[in-house]
Structures are given as C-alpha cells and as structure tokens.
Chains A and B, each alone.
Chain A
Amino acid sequence: MSFFSADNLSINFGGIKAVDGVSFDVEQGEVFTIIGPNGAGKTTIFNLVSRIYEPSGGKLAFAGRDITNVPPHLIAALGIARTFQNIELFEHATLLQNLLLARHAHKRSDFFSELLFLPYVRRLEMEHREAVEKAIDFLDLQQYRDSLIVNLPYGVRKVTELARALCTDPKLLLLDEPSSGLNVEETEDMAFWIQDIKNLLGITVLMVEHDMSLVSAVSDRVMALNYGRPIATGTPAEVQAHPEVVRAYLGG
C-alpha cells in the first residue's frame, strides 16, 4: 500500500472527460510532479484530491485510508494541505491571521469558551502562534507578518500560500504551479524550499508544474498527462525524453 494513491480517477464536465481513468501512487517522502500541456487536467486532479470536485469514478486513498468520500473540510485534518494556482489568500486579513487560520484543523476550543476567551483559549492561541512562527522563520516572512495581504507583492503572496499550507502540519503537500508568476530568482528560491520541505520537514509533495527546470531540480518522479490521460511516468529525464510527451507538447 503506497502513501497516497489515485485509482482509475475520472471526472466529466458536461460530457467532456477532464480526467479520464488516471491512476498513480505517491510514495512517502518523495516529490511527485504532474506535468502536461494546458487543459490536460492537472489542476482538476488537485481539486479532486482536495475534494472540491466530486469524482465521477475511481478511488482516492491516503495513508491506508479511503478518502474518496471525505468532505472537503476534513481533508486538512487528515494531513493534506494545498496551495492554489491563482492564489486564494484571505486578502483583507494580515499575513499572520492567514497563517493562524491554517491552524483551524487543529482547533480544540469550543464556541462558548472562545466567547469568554477562557485562559485555556489564550494558551491554545499561543501554541498556534508558535507553530505559525516556525513557518514564518522557515520561509523568511518575518518582515511581512503584520501587513495585509492586499498590500503584498505577488511573489510574497505565493510564499505566503506555501507557508499557510505548511501551518496545517501536513503529511502530503499539494502545490499547484508554485512557480507561476515568479521570476527566475524567486523560482530558484522556491526550488530550495521544496527540497527543504522534503528533506528537513519530511513532507511528501505532490506538485503540478510547468517550469521544467524546477521540475527536474526537485522531482523524484514525474507523470505526464494529456487530455486527462497519463501518457508517461518515470524520472524527470525519462519522461522528458518520452516520444508521447514530446508529441503532446510539440504536436505532430
């Protein structure tokens, strides 16, 4: 039994098979990347895994448990966190509040003690803050702690999303195009962070990415997708050289 597995996963949007019988396994501690041309169904797979979309067929399993029917708000508590392609931060809140919200899956206080802000709520808040500060340290976000997200530049927001995902204490991290919209330097930073996340924090990473330099630098295994179907799986070099993959990207 592998750490995370998708088995024959499918979804239709009004007759179009956006994801069509995709199966893959992610082993614990690896970086698994899904590549493919635009519209191949990569982000759709992420939305299926985080349960925003209802699959029309297939099974999802995580850490020995069938998660095909788990409601979306319980996914985080299981240990799966994600980032979004077009940044879904809470824009009119501070960076700190964004990260604290990510601790929601670990909330242990109830409504009425929060209403009175009992001492133990305060203590829990401090614990959450400590966990958040670790992520802030890890990703060098100290100086932005109290700024509203609307006032932050795009690159910082992208890192903030990563930090927010880390604050949920995930076992599996889903990164949806972590380098989109970043310049070369920021992309390099991102590559180092992904490696650190894998090596230092021991978090398994499932990633969708277009930038092949980033993919080659961090991925252990790569799966290429076209028209909702997998066409090749293997090491980055193998997949890049695969004739089907070349045809999918270059046509012909």
Chain B
Amino acid sequence: MTLLNSRSYWQATRGNRPHVCRGWKLVIFLQLTLNGLAVGCIYGLVALGFVLIYKATELVNFAQGDLLMLGAFVCYMSVVWWGLDYWLGFLIAVVAVGAFGALLDRVVLRQVIGQPQFAVVMLTIGLGAMFRTFASVTWGSEIYTLPTPFGGVWTVGGVTLSHQYLSIVFGTLVLCGVLYAFFNHTRIGVAMQATSQNQLAAYYMGIPVKLIFSLIWAISAGVAAAAGILLAPVTLIDINMGLAVALKAFAAAVLGGFGSIPGALIGGIIIGLIELYAGATLPEGFKDTAPYIVLLLMLIVRPQGLFGSLARKKV
C-alpha cells in the first residue's frame, strides 16, 4: 500500500461499532435512530461540501474528507497544545481550514478548470494524500482525543441522549440554517447561486466569478472542518479519519443525486441510519457494506440519484 497504511484504514472504518443487544425493542430503535441521525449529519455535511463545490465549479473534490481531518487537527492543536477554549479552537479551525480552501482554489484548482472531470478527481485525490502526509509529519500518526464540553448524557424514557451526538445534530441544524440564510438573503449568497447556474451570464452581470469560486471553496472547507470537529469526540482524531467519512459522504451525495443540496443532507442521513440499523441487526460485516449495497441497488433503479436530474447532451 503506498497511499496510506491499510491497517489503520481498516481501523478507521471499523471503529465505533455500537454494542447493542440483539433484542429489537423500541428503546433500542430510538437509540439507533438518534445515533444514526448524528452520524448521518456528519456524512450530510461533508456531502454538502462536495455538492457546493460541484454545483459552482463542476469539480469533484475528493480531498473533502482530508479537509475534515485537518479541521479536527487544527482544533485539537488549539485546544490541547495551546490551551485555548473549545469554542475559540472551533472558530480558529473553521476559519483556518476555510482560508486554506480558498488558497487551494486560487493556487491549484483554478488551473484545471476545463480539464476532464476525471483528471480533476485524481488531482484532488493526490492533494488528499499530501494533506495526510502533512498531518502525519506535523501532528504525528497517533490517535488523539479532543476534549469537548459535551461529556454528559440525558436519559429520556430509557433512551440515552448523549450530548456528543446531540451536539452533532444541533450543530448541523445551525450550520444549515446559517448557510440557507446566507445563500438566500445576502447579496453574495445570491451571486453564488447565480454563478453556479450560469458562469458566463454571472460574469457578464458583473459578479466576480473567480472570487465567488474561492469563497465557495472556503465555505466547503469550513463546513468540512466544522464536521470534523463535531465528529472528533465520536471517532477520535487520526490522519485517516477523513477517508472513511469521505467515502460514505460521497456515497451520500450520489444517493441524493449529485448536485442537489437537500439531496446531499438527506442522502447523508439515509446512509447514517442504514449503517447503524444494519450494524445492530444484520451479521457482522454489514455495517460498512449495507450503505453501499443500498446505493448500488438505488443506482441500478435510478441512475441519477434521488433528487438528481439526468443530464443529457443536446445534439
């Protein structure tokens, strides 16, 4: 294996298996639903990043998961190494990774607009490998725990509501609300929508398209960083945490129909729920494969995804 140590990849995909007894009770069902929802929200957020970039620039960014990993590490560094407050660390990480996303667009990805989609996908895979190396050289390849203010649990009718999971769901809701308001009620947000519908027309209308692209990269990277920090207490932080998440999130984005924002979120939640339900009810091994089996079946029935439209070339 050259791109990464495969053993740790397996650990990354196999970690966090909930130990649920086999009796199918309502309480367990609710518990699984909450946990699935939380995991699904993370997938949804990362998928959202995929879709935002794809809609605007028609590039597919496979390094999204590694941006997530960078976000988690920057937050860890701020909180543990520098002793800053969790929320300050959160802010620093989102801003830093967001700025890094914009820089990435400015320096690398702008060069490849207009090249075949496949080349760009490979480019971002290469970038992702570089980020992982960077992280392993800078922060080391051990597994780290991020201290968070969400340690407690509430118990409601036998269902354990862990604050970690609640914080993920709540954080996702807040992020989506902010993004929704931004895209619909600010000048720059509407300009972004216009740009992703028709670059040329937007350019003629005086919208600074290049700046918009960089901003969209910044937003996607920032969202990924936030997702990484929210996820950190659940999966712990290591250099390969992004890869497993990104693969599932990518499946989520495709499930929702690549290019649809609500589709990405719903796809993420579907994948998260399937993963947890399958992990609890089906024989071992299905937790990681069930989402893909569902995805394959869905693609066979509906090749354009749930909310996607089948683009067809005009002749």
Contacts and interface: CB of A to CB of B under 8 A. Distances in A.
B156 interface: no
Contacts, number: 8
Interface string B286-315: 000000000000000000000000000011
A12 to B, nearest CB: 16
A85 B315 CA distance: 7
Interface string A77-108: 00000001110100000000000000000000
Contacts of A84: 315
Contacts of B315: 43, 47, 52, 84-86, 88
A32 B70 CA distance: 65
Contacts of A88: 315
Contacts of A47: 315
B311 to A, nearest CB: 15
Nearest to B312: A52
B313 to A, nearest CB: 9
A52 B314 CA distance: 11
Interface string A28-59: 00000000000000010001000010000000
Contacts of B314: 86
Contacts of A85: 315
Interface in A2-46: 43
A162 to B, nearest CB: 16
Interface of A: 43, 47, 52, 84-86, 88
8 contacts: A43-B315, A47-B315, A52-B315, A84-B315, A85-B315, A86-B314, A86-B315, A88-B315
8 closest A-B pairs by beta carbon, nearest first, are A84-B315, A88-B315, A47-B315, A86-B315, A85-B315, A52-B315, A43-B315, A86-B314
Given A52-B315, A85-B315, 6 more contacts: A43-B315, A47-B315, A84-B315, A86-B314, A86-B315, A88-B315
